[in-house]
Structure 1
Amino acid sequence: MYPDLYKGLNLKPEDLTAYNSSLVSFEGKTITPRSQIRLPIQARLDVVEVDFIVVDAYSPYTVIVARPWLHALGAVSSTLHQKVKYPLEGQQSATPVLPSNELTEEAKCKDLEKVAVGIDPKKFFQVGSKLPPQEKEELIGFLRENVDIFVWDAYEAPRVDPSFIYHHLNVSPSVTPKKQPPQHPLKEHADAIKDEVTKLKKARAIKEVFYPEWLAITVVVKKKSRKWRVCVDFTDLNKAYPIDLFPMPG
């Protein structure tokens, strides 16, 4: 448990009990916990008593719940889906398990129908064909009313205002900048790079700048569709970038 939650629950020193063992943070630092407290956690209708170690340190989280709590509830967590599933009374799982052929049909999204936005056949929405008529009509109406916020091509997306958010490379100042040697790509690779750069410049996603210190080459790879994907070799830059212990999900 971190300070924000400790203060938010209005806990007092007399509510805590001693805790003597040290902890190792995600950064590898040794931290001496303030104390511990036992609190109930309710998940649906189940209530489980959990021991929380109160740590006086910064964290983007308010609390971290360990495996004993999950085991006590019989819950299953998924870091991929950022969700926790709880068993319901008298059932094995809160989500029914489908046969493999049903999962395949669900993955293929066969029950979707296209709804045209305008005269351009490439611009359309996909909605569930089995939705109730009134719900489907309301959904289509809502999508059409807000069609101006959708794009059908990555290059149509508008620029993000830097006052809202921007990206900063936290490169270690102790690392010596490295220039990767220039390459002589094949003609088809050079054409793919030129087309990609032209698209990005037209969309104002990139602009021409000069970096006399850091230089990274482009790498062209073939996708399954047989088209070319243009990448940048950030190997050297990644080595100069500190490990992010709390990366944003992608």
Structure 2
Amino acid sequence: MENQAVMSFSEEDKVGTIQPHDDALMVTLRIGGYNVKRVMVDQGSGAKIMYLNLYNRLGLKPEDLIAYDSSLVSFDGKAVIPRGQIRLPIQAGSKVVEVNFIIVDAFAPYTAIMAKPYLHALGAVSSTLHLKVKYLFGDQIEELVGSQFVARQCLIAAITHQPRLESSASAEMSL
């Protein structure tokens, strides 16, 4: 018989978090060779999103993009036309997974969204209650620990964000 590590969460995994909470799971990942903070782990989404600010800060150019011809719906219900997509290595602890990101030019308080396909490729299990992501690397369980502080900063940024308003002249010209 072979001993296999079992990924599970316990009360001990909550140590260091303020309970109860409804904070998003925000982690730091190494994307394209850089440590990137404010990455949201979204278990309910299938799209891996990178926002244009991060894309530019990583030093990537428009010509690095591959065409992506489907529109997306943002959190505020508006259609968003992606700039394209790009495949980049994502490192979580010791494990590296290649991810196809959809590049979006829209406001978000976070830099990227990692979705179910990423968690599946990593072989990970996430818990928003415990604010952790656990995955196997060899015969060891590694974990990413989320930050409540960062999650709350992002929430405040989202609440206080004032969208750009079109002037009435430019709105009339677009009709």
Q: Residue 54 of structure 2 corresponds to which residue in structure 1? A: 5
Q: Of residues 94, 113, 116 in structure 2, which corresponds to 1:45?
A: 94
C-alpha distance 89-26 of structure 1, shift in aligned 2 (>3 A)? same
Aligned residues: 97
1:73 aligns with 2:117: no
Distance 2:66 2:74 in 1: 21
Q: Deviations over 1:32-64 (max 9, x none)?
A: 111110001112222111000000000011000
Distance 2:52 2:98 in 1: 20
Instruction: Give the TM-score, by structure 1 length.
Output: 0.36
Q: Which runs of 5 or more residues in structure 2 are unaligned?
A: 1-49, 144-155, 161-175
- Runs of 4+ aligned residues of structure 1 deviating over 6 Å after TM superposition are none
Residue type at the aligned position of 1:88: F
Larger RCO: 1 or 2 (CA < 8 Å, sep 6+): 2
Partner SS state of residue 19, structure 1 = coil
Distance 1:31 1:38 in 2: 20
Residue type at the aligned position of 2:101: F
Q: Which runs of 5 or more residues in structure 1 are unaligned?
A: 96-164, 170-250
Distance 1:46 1:83 in 2: 16
Q: Deviations over 1:142-166 (max 9, x none)?
A: xxxxxxxxxxxxxxxxxxxxxxx9x
Deviation at 1:82?
2.2
1:86 aligns with 2:129: no
Who wins on radius of gyration, i.e. which is larger?
Answer: 1
1:35 aligns with 2:84: yes
Q: Residue 144 of structure 1 corresponds to which residue in structure 2? A: none
Deviation at 1:83?
1.9
- Given that 2:93 and 2:142 are in contact with CA atoms closer than 8 Å, whether structure 1 keeps it comes out as no
1:55 aligns with 2:71: no
Deviation at 1:94?
4.2
Q: CA RMSD in A?
A: 2.3
Partner SS state of residue 113, structure 2 = coil
Instruction: Give the TM-score, by structure 2 length.
Output: 0.51
Percent of residue pairs identical: 66
Partner SS state of residue 86, structure 1 = strand
Distance 1:89 1:12 in 2: 35
| Structure ranking higher in strand proportion | 2
